[in-house]
Structure 1
Amino acid sequence: MRTAAVLAVSALIAASLVACGPGSPGGTVTLWMYPVIADQAQSRAYWHRVEAGFEHDTGVDLRIELQPWEGRQEKLGAALMAGNGPDVVLLQSDMIPQYAGENALAPVDDVVAGSPRPYPPAVVGALQVQGRSYGVPLYRTVTTTVYNRKLFAEAGITQLPRTWDEVAAAAPKLAAHGVPVLDYSGSTEETLNLTFYPLLWQAGGSVFTPDGRRSAFASPEGVSALRFLVGLEAAGGLPRDAATKRSGLADDAMVTGRAAMSHAMTAAAARTVVAAIGPENTVIGLPLQNRARVTFGTPGALSLLRSAKHPEVARKLLTYLTSPAVAGELCTRSGFFGPWADAPPPSADAVDKAFAQALPFTSAGDAHPQARKVMGLLAPHLQAALLGEKTPEQALAEAAAEADALLGRG
């Protein structure tokens, strides 16, 4: 099914190129793209065809530079300071407020409004700063809960836990069999979007106050979320090295059958779990429920830099890249969901169908220029709480003091 869909979309792109014909020559435009398609050979082939297609349409020289994820912000920041950055770049939603606040991005409301297929309001809103759009949606990610049914059954648990209370109740029963109920990676190098933040949101909390001037994670809701984790740790409900563990598919506790569930897993990781423990033992459910049912999911978006040498040509590139034909094939090849309100799963298999059920519960988190810096400040305090060096209240209060000092300087 996936191969047939790719061939159909590829044919559609080819047909549209023949119909449109080349445009008038003019200028060069540069795109910085990242490994959205994990397979390097497929990625190079796809972007080579995109480059050739746009050049055929417009007569413009398109240079697509494939960049690594690692060190992306540092490299982009250095390029912008040196005045040699790209014209268009792929950004995640939590990066956009920072660059928009630095006046590095140009609004793209016209491109978003001109999409032939509507975007969900939440997707558009995640890419806006003060009501202006600074990113055109290209794809959507989603995470959700994944279970090892066999481990629960061996512990005498017949109903998989769907709420925090049920997870906490299952923890000692699984621990008696030497199995942590929840896989958790508490290394300070992990993104909190896939670890602590989904729990914070499920507790009804947020990272920042509505006006963005102060942190909000030291609230009763935030304390509740961290107490939940610390309580699981005390009950043997987390991996022994949870406080320092990095996520990694090769020796992941879910993949090796050493943990019973994950609360914020990607579809790609879920496929690895299915391959390792078998589809009969793998269950993909909705996000956990506490005060709210919510999980992390974010749109990847293309942004136009103010320093673009040919901004009108760059806008044409944005329209071309985010068209249903071009972006649709990207989503099929990458396994990400399309950004449109009516987008089907990237494939018809059971994993994608299950993850599609979690899409309505996704949150891109708090949009704030200092979001990533605050995450870096908070992470070591969360780790200290998991190590038993601080109480949840103390850890969050100390992190909030540091974050508020940062926000005050901003």
Structure 2
Amino acid sequence: MRRFRAAASVGAATLSLALTATACGGGSTTGGGGSNDSPKTLTYWASNQGPNLEADKKILKPELAKFEKQTGIKVKLEVIPWSELLTKILTATTSGQGPDVLNIGNTWSASLQASGALLPWDEKNFAKIGGKDRFVESALGSAGAADKDPAAVPLYSMAYALYYNKKMFKEAGIDKPPATWDELVADGKKISKGGKWALGAEGSNLSNNIHQVFALGKQHGADFFTEDGKADFTSDGAVAAVKQYVDMMAKDKIVAPGNAEYAQNQSLSDFAKDKTAMVLWQAAATTFKSQGMSEDEWGVAPVPVGSGAPGQGKATNSMVAGINMAVFKNTKNIDGSLKFVKFMTSDAEQKILCKSYGSVPPVKAAQEDAAFDRPELKVLRDTLAKSAAPLPQVANESQFETAVGTAVKNLFAKAADGGEVTTTSVKAELVKAQQQMSQQ
């Protein structure tokens, strides 16, 4: 999603194939473990973090030139849209036509870890980039299964926030952002009239669907997976979470029916055009600026909770969002790849890159820069520290995004067509999603 657009999901069958195949990578070769057969070149797949691919190239190329000057290693950059990235990674794990270093959505960490394609970040490898303790603990929590060495290193950290359009709030007589869902619905009904709507959603964006219902699930006491990693999509809490989210269109009428068909970034465009008063998003400042909004036109607040203040457990209001950096285990330049990860996660580069992208550095020392104290990032930092939780770090997380994300998409489509969304119909969609998981 926009910069920290989480993961574009792909078919579970494709993922299953990748997870059972021999993991290959490192340029265009196959075979044994990492080596140094190509010590002067690296291929880097960067995820699309900026408003467009060219913006990413403009940000990254000067930094890659700096790395080449320091080390003599030339980095071949390819910026890949989120809609294509996971598919390309899965293809690389089976074909060997992959990069040396790549960005991954942090929600994919455990799934890709299970493929065996990625270099494990054990104590020895962490030592080569300055040590594990340089990184924020919550960011490391989304780098792979809890009982294994991380499969990647945190690169950019994010969380969700509630962005609100100050002009639309003023016109509706609302003087502050909502702190609870009841307040959001009440405010939303004041706003949703005359062709304007309160809240933006992206019903066809499977990953965004997952991110929203995951946090709501936490608030309803649901985790979507049992402690032993089995799918648990049909609990009362999971059903309540999905229904609450879809009801903002179906029952509360504060989300435009057309949002059922929205995909990546379309809700942000409506927000910038004064058509929608609120969006739940990860670091949106750069996108708003690219669409002509000035910083004084919008405000930011924590995502609402059921009651009280955001926190852990039932007060969780965001997934731990972000981008991780991984190395293909069979790279032909293992030393250079580790040097590149060290460079990109250095204190100095973290400040440069995260300022450019509007993200929160997962490196502790870099967060001390005053640039990360501006209001938007303060909300995101507080959320990461106090009230965010990682998506389930299970091997079939990507199938979860596809199955449950599609269930939410189907329910939004029903709501947009005027159909009634009931507890029974929500549970039926989630039963179907869980059955899909059990067949993998």
Aligned to 1:106: 119
Q: Deviations over 1:91-118 (max 9, x none)?
A: 1111121221111112113343553672
Aligned to 1:393: 423
Distance 1:122-1:265 versus aligned 2 partners, 3 A rule:
closer
Please give the alpha-carbon distance, in whole angstroms, between the structure 1 residues aligned to 2:290 and 2:278.
11
Amino acid at match of 2:301: G
Distance 1:240-1:32 versus aligned 2 partners, 3 A rule:
closer
Distance 1:319-1:229 versus aligned 2 partners, 3 A rule:
closer
Please give the alpha-carbon distance, in whole angstroms, between the structure 1 residues aligned to 2:142 and 2:47.
20
Distance 1:35-1:185 versus aligned 2 partners, 3 A rule:
closer
8 A Cα contact 2:162 2:281, kept in partner = yes
Please give the alpha-carbon distance, in whole angstroms, between the structure 2 residues aligned to 1:279 and 1:57.
37
Which of 70, 79, 86 matches 2:92? Answer: 79
- Residue 106 of structure 1 aligns to a residue whose secondary structure is coil
Which of 201, 212, 216 matches 1:184? Answer: 201
Please give the alpha-carbon distance, in whole angstroms, between the structure 2 residues aligned to 1:247 and 1:370.
23
Q: Which runs of 5+ in 1 are unaligned?
A: 1-24
**RMSD over aligned Cα atoms:** 3.2
- Give 1:380 shift: 3.4
Please give the alpha-carbon distance, in whole angstroms, between the structure 1 residues aligned to 2:44 and 2:210.
26
Distance 1:296-1:264 versus aligned 2 partners, 3 A rule:
farther
Q: How does 1:363-378 map to 2 (within 5 A)?
A: 363-378=389-404
What is the TM-score normalised by the length of structure 1? 0.80
- Give 1:144 shift: 0.2
Distance 1:400-1:236 versus aligned 2 partners, 3 A rule:
closer
Residue 340 (1) aligns with residue 363 (2): yes
Aligned to 1:163: 180
Aligned to 1:309: 332
8 A Cα contact 2:158 2:282, kept in partner = no
Please give the alpha-carbon distance, in whole angstroms, between the structure 2 residues aligned to 1:134 and 1:345.
31
Residue 115 (1) aligns with residue 130 (2): yes
Amino acid at match of 1:401: V
Which of 222, 236, 243 matches 1:205? Answer: 222
Percent of residue pairs identical = 20
- Residue 101 of structure 1 aligns to a residue whose secondary structure is helix
- Give 1:249 shift: 5.2
Aligned to 2:276: 259
Q: How does 1:11-50 map to 2 (within 5 A)?
A: 26=39, 28-38=41-51, 43-50=56-63
- Give 1:134 shift: 1.0
Aligned to 1:222: 238
Residue 288 (1) aligns with residue 304 (2): yes
Amino acid at match of 1:312: D
Aligned to 2:83: 70
8 A Cα contact 2:160 2:319, kept in partner = yes
Please give the alpha-carbon distance, in whole angstroms, between the structure 2 residues aligned to 1:311 and 1:371.
28
Please give the alpha-carbon distance, in whole angstroms, between the structure 2 residues aligned to 1:245 and 1:145.
19
8 A Cα contact 1:287 1:293, kept in partner = no
- Give 1:281 shift: 5.0
Aligned to 1:328: 351
Q: Deviations over 1:340-383 (max 9, x none)?
A: 23414655654444544433233342222222222222233223
8 A Cα contact 1:108 1:304, kept in partner = no
Aligned to 1:359: 384
